Amino acid sequence: MDGHHDETGRGYDTVAADYAAHFAHELDHKPLDRALLTALLDEAAGDLPVADLGCGPGHVGAFLARRGARAVGIDLSAGMVAIGRKLFPEVEFRRGDLLRLPAGDGEFGAAVAFYSIIHLAPGELGAAFTEMHRVLSPRAPLLVSFHVGSEVRHLSEWWGKEVDIDFRFFEMDEVVAATRSAGFTVSARLLRVAYPGEVETTRGYLLAR
């Protein structure tokens, strides 16, 4: 890992326990996210593991595992991986970068990347999707979520702890173009407003294969 990836990982290490306390049960209150994850499993290719890319404490992977998937969570933050292993032993965890995923070619039958591309620089988006394409088997689906827009929000303090993390918004057409350039076919895209209690942003979802 280099540069801002290292700093992002350290920031999430710093707040890992707080993050897990706030978000480990967030899917309980997000019916659309649950429905999309269920659809992802319905379309998964073969009897292969499902990847949760940028998994944080692993709650999305746990949701998938409880529905019969062999879930593999991959995250930049060693602190997040450590907490995930304690909270969700049903998920396999690996530490890794979206640009260099610790996985073999075609290893996964599906993948989800919920709000993990938001820490990439614009020039890294295509490389990240190319790497996702590499680790997915043929016809395997990919579900991506992100904040929609063109701004960058910087956090220097989070839950009373010092961090240095950028949250980058992407326009839907930008993400669609990057996935297509990486070899994916886009099958669905949608927008939603924030749920109560979420940060007030427009959320984008993209399903491709």
Residues 6+ apart with CB under 8 A from 136: 45, 51, 106, 108, 109, 110, 111, 142
Q: In what order do the strands lie in the sheet with 92-95?
A: 92-95, 71-75, 50-53, 110-114, 142-147, 203-208, 186-192
Q: Over the stretch 20-50, which tens digit does the pLDDT of each residue have?
A: 999 999 999 999 999 999 999 999 998 999 9
Domain ranges within the chain, ordered by starting residue: 1-109+129-141+190-209
Q: How far apart are CA 37 and CA 112, in angstroms?
A: 8
pLDDT tens column, 110-167 = 999 999 999 998 899 999 999 999 999 999 999 999 999 999 999 899 999 999 999 9
Q: What is the pTM of this model?
A: 0.95
The fold of the 1-109+129-141+190-209 domain, in CATH, is: Rossmann fold (3.40.50)
